């Protein structure tokens, strides 16, 4: 199972978290977020997938950030439609084709793009809403329904995922911190985790919004029996 650390903001802190070798690092391109990212991403290991988080943005804006920061994944946290996801994939494919043109070698664009579509859960969830997204997304991400699109600091009842009808791999998110390590180890042994691809953490590992606590993240990785250290 993979680990994603989201809500990165500060250059030195990004590098320090990257040194822990998570599989994904998330950067929030949403101006209303206290973790809004508006600087450059430092050089980090190519094994870490740089993930841009967007909320109801235009396709043009998302594609621009993919190109600017050479993002390998896009996390959609708003009400983006299946058609939006499909159009984003197509626009990215066109960008890749352009970057391969001998006259446009200055375009640095990763050939593959993972699309992660977020769905918020409170006490229950209608899994039927996932069906139209199956062909156009690589992963789903299940977060806790709250006032903000992410970073609310609360977990939802993971037992809801016992009814997960899909084979699409998903990220588990929402209020996950050090105190949830034992619960996560137990979850990994349950049927609900069969298609859980990654654990996504954010606010529970912060000194302040966007500034991650390195030692706590290290302890978290060590505490999870299913995460490679």
With respect to residue 229, please indicate whether it lies within any of the assigned structural domains.
no
As to burial, measured by CB atoms within 10 angstroms (0-12 exposed, 13-18 middle, 19+ buried), residue 152 is middle
Any idea what the CATH number is for the domain that residue 214 is in? Answer: 3.20.20.70
CA-wise closest residue to 130 among 99, 183, 85 = 85
Q: Is residue 209 part of a domain?
A: yes
Write out the residue range of the structural domain in which residue 14 sits: 2-223
- Could you tell me which residue, 211 or 227, shows the higher pLDDT? 211
pLDDT per residue as tens digits for the range 148-187: 665 556 789 999 999 999 999 999 999 999 999 999 999 9
Q: Helix (H, G, I), strand (E, B), or coil: what is residue 172?
A: strand
pTM of this structure: 0.92
User: What are 51-77's pLDDT values in tens digits?
Assistant: 999 999 999 999 999 999 999 999 999
Q: Say if 228 falls within a structural domain.
A: no
- Rounded-to-5 percentages of helix, strand, coil across the chain: 35, 20, 45
Residue 100's pLDDT is what?
A: 67
- Residue 111 has which token pair? 């050939």
Q: Decide if 178 is inside a domain.
A: yes
Q: Copy the structure tokens of residue 160.
A: 């809801």
Domain total of the chain: 1
List of residues 6+ apart from 87 with CB closer than 8 A: 59
């Amino acid at each position: 199972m993979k680990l994603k650390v989201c809500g990165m903001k500060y250059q030195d802190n990004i590098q320090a978290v990257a040194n822990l070798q998570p599989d994904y690092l998330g950067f929030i391109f949403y101006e209303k977020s206290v973790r809004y990212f508006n600087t450059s991403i430092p050089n980090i290991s190519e094994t870490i997938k740089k993930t841009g988080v967007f909320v109801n943005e235009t396709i043009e804006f998302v594609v621009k950030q993919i190109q600017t920061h050479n993002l390998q994944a896009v996390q959609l946290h708003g009400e983006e439609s299946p058609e939006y996801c499909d159009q984003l994939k197509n626009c990215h494919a066109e960008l890749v084709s352009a970057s391969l043109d001998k006259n446009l070698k200055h375009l640095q664009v990763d050939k593959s793009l993972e699309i992660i579509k977020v769905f918020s859960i409170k006490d229950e969830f209608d899994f039927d809403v996932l069906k139209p997204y199956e062909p156009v997304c690589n992963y789903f991400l299940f977060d806790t329904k709250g006032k903000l699109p992410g970073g609310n600091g609360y977990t939802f009842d993971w037992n809801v995922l016992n009814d997960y009808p899909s084979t699409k791999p998903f990220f588990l998110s929402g209020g996950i911190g050090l105190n949830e390590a034992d619960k996560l180890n137990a979850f990994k042994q349950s049927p609900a985790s069969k298609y859980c691809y990654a654990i996504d953490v954010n606010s529970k590992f912060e000194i302040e919004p966007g500034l991650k606590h390195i030692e706590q993240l290290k302890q978290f990785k060590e505490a999870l029996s299913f995460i490679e250290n």
